[in-house]
Structure 1
Amino acid sequence: MVTATATDKNQLITDKLITLIEKGVKPWSKPWYASPFQNCITNHIYRGINPILCQIDLVINNWEYPFFLTFQQAKELNWLIKKGSKATWIKWGGTYAKEVEDPETKETKKEYKNSFRWFSVFNIACVDDSKSVHKITEYLKPLTGVKPNNFNPILQVDNFINTLEIKTVFGGPVACYIPFSDTIKLPNRSDFISTEGFYSTYLHEIVHSTGHHSRCARPLNNKKGSSDYAFEELIADLGSAFLCNHFAINYSLESHASYLDSWLSVLRSDKTAFLKAAQKANQAFNYLIGDTVVDEQ
């Protein structure tokens, strides 16, 4: 396993994002593959932010399959990594609880902290199997065309939404979350071009609602056009992508030019902004789904 500091990987990922967004491409809003992003040797399915980190490189390099492996795994199969191939950096880690004493009340309480490290993987397109008796096609056959979940994602999402105590008003041309009344406004379902568009938009607004002071408590009354406003939109877009991936929905929000321009400003001014937003989005996901994301190779 190859590890690296968080700082240089933040810059690497941010540079890639800026390149894609300047072209009008939001890599996290591309349709999720019929096969999930995963390690092609262990079949471990990547979670949290890792599918998006893989997707960024998939879009940049025009790779066909969302399957990866470590350098050591390739070596054990006598596979070679093609000259000039670039590693994809993903994160291993999660949330752990630590008991601390409140200095005022002297009561013991749990404090939750995040811990992670970076490690490198290579896409299957970077592998040369010509000198091995083990062929890549042997590993691709059971993976291609496999659905990440064997359930009706629409029914699953409906059931999920129905468990949330968030008021939704349907009708009109606007999709938004109103913090002071804790209300989501959406056009009627029949007004959406696609089923996926309806659910991805709904989930986007649901992630905004997690910023309410009674939930994850994020600043929501940001001036439109400000960097704080763009940062919250980035959180909601990533959080919606996490939820769409979880429910096996093709994520299809439009790449609004105003969002892209404002995100570029945020990313250029702070190379850690993307991963900070992803952490906030992951907190929203965990709040809604009730599942701490832990990933590994």
Structure 2
Amino acid sequence: MNVYKIVTEQICQQLEQGVVPWRKPWKDGVAVSWKTQKPYRGINVFLLPPGEYATFKQIQEHGGRVKKGEKGHLVVFWKWLEKENEETGEIEKFPLLRYYKVFEVNTQAEGVPSRRQKPEQMEETFEHDVIGACEAVIEGYVDAPEIRFAPGEAFYHKVLDYVQCPPLRDFESLSGFYGVLFHELVHSTGHPSRLNRKGIAGRSKFGDEDYSQEELVAELGAAILCAHVGISSERTLQNSASYIQGWLKVLRSDARLVVQAASQAQKACDYILGKDTEEE
């Protein structure tokens, strides 16, 4: 089984259990490398529960051990290979998807101290902090489209380049409001003047492959942005049985879809946040 199929199968297993990986609560933290304390990126964000992860070798080298019976979590990465073009003689690079296994050091290992600083309890001020962090993301989107607030519908108009979202008063929760707004802002990064993504810049239609991938890009991107500001990306509507079954059908028909979409979602979020996209 190739890496794309392994990743897709893990995502599908979560969907079959009624869990939408890109809609899980992020406020408890994100998955980071134990060694560097840097958050995982791309599809790894949705494969790993919150925690600190290290390889079997890293745990051993630091005097620890993996608990008996524990199974490693999948992490994928791109390995760049070089090959000489037979016609031109030039060296060309192309990416190959690979994977390895990691273990959560606090629950799956012993003898390896946590390197993460424990966040202070912020229950009383959480709501105010969330608003500020979310607004900072929106304000930091340097060439953002116009955002219009009107009841009833949320969408990105790719021809006129504007986002419409119901006003905050129409949402039961702050996280629901910002999750919807982030979803539409991620769509907007596909505009030809920005990242020129096929699902937005092309002629995609409802239900076709490009449309499905673009919707997944926006779903994953909204989850990444919610993680960035420390709020839950949960939306009850999006956890319906029909929604889950629909995604199972799409993902099982194309094993590459979720990995490619996660990569595009990461680029979209980096664009909104004003970060240089890192080579995975």
Q: Judge same fold: TM > 0.5, yes or no.
A: yes
**Please, which of 185, 199, 207 is the counterpart of residue 219 of structure 1?**
199
Contact 2:33 2:52 in 1 (8 A): yes
Paired with 1:94 and 1:215, the residues of 2 have a C-alpha distance of: 27
- Asked if residue 240 in structure 1 is aligned to residue 215 in structure 2, the reply is no
Q: In the alignment, residue 235 of structure 1 is paired with which amino acid?
A: V
Return the match for 1:286 from 257, 261, 270. 270
- 1:52-100, Cα deviation, whole Å (9 max, x unpaired): 2213xxxxxxxxx6122211122124433234432222245699xxxxx
Listed as ranges, the matches of 1:62-77 within 5 Å are: 66-77=51-62
Give me the CA root mean square deviation: 3.2
Q: Could you tell me how far apart the structure 2 residues matched to 1:182 and 1:44 are?
A: 34
> Which of residues 112, 115, 134 in structure 2 aligns to 1:157?
134
2:169 is matched with 190
- Residue 79 (1) aligns with residue 64 (2): yes
Q: Which amino acid counterpart does residue 28 of structure 1 have in structure 2?
A: W
Alpha-carbon distance in structure 1 between the residues aligned to 2:103 and 2:8: 19
Find the aligned partners of 2:35 and 2:219 in 1 and give their Cα distance: 31
Compute the displacement of 1:286 (Å).
Answer: 2.3
In the alignment, what sits opposite 1:200?
179
* 2:99 maps to amino acid: W
Q: How does 1:95-174 map to 2 (within 5 A)?
A: 117-124=98-105, 125-127=107-109, 129=110, 134=111, 138-139=113-114, 143-145=117-119, 152-162=129-139, 163-174=142-153
- Give how far 1:199 is off: 0.7
**Which residue is equivalent to 1:180?**
159
Partner amino acid, structure 1, of 2:72: A
1:234 alignment partner AA: L
Q: TM-score, normalised by structure 2?
A: 0.78
Cα distance, 1:43–1:183 mapped onto 2, change above 3 Å:
closer
Q: Give the superposition deviation at 1:145.
A: 4.0
Bigger mean CA deviation after superposition, 205-214 or 261-270: 261-270
Partners of 2:150 and 2:240 lie apart in 1 by: 22
Q: Which deviates further from its counterpart, 77-86 or 280-289? A: 77-86
Q: Residue 99 of structure 1 corresponds to which residue in structure 2?
A: none
Residue number among 202, 213, 228 corresponding to 1:231 in the alignment: 213
2:15 matches 1:21: yes
Where does the alignment leave 5 or more consecutive residues of structure 1 unmatched?
Answer: 1-6, 56-64, 96-111
* 2:269 corresponds to 1:275: no
Decide whether the 8 Å contact of 1:39 with 1:46 is kept in 2: yes
Give 1:175 shift: 1.1
Residue from 46, 52, 57 that aligns with 1:52: 46
What secondary structure does 1:250 align onto? coil
Contact 2:10/2:47 (<8 A) preserved? no
The equivalent of 1:90 in structure 2 is: 75
Q: CA deviation at 1:122?
A: 0.9
Partners of 1:272 and 1:210 in 2: CA distance: 21
> For residues 28-55 of structure 1, what are the alpha-carbon distances to aligned partners after superposition, in whole Å with 9 as ceiling and x for unaligned?
2111143432234553433343332213
1:37 aligned residue:
31
Amino acid at match of 1:189: L
Q: Following the alignment from structure 1 to structure 2, what is the Cα–Cα distance between the partners of residues 287 and 196?
A: 21
What's the TM-score once normalised by structure 1's chain length? 0.74
Q: Given residue 74 of structure 1, which amino acid in structure 2 is its aligned partner?
A: I
Greater CA drift, 24-33 or 234-243: 24-33
CA distance in 2, matches of 1:181, 1:264: 32
Deviation at 1:290, TM superposition (A): 2.6
Kept after mapping to 2: 8 A contact 1:33/1:66: no
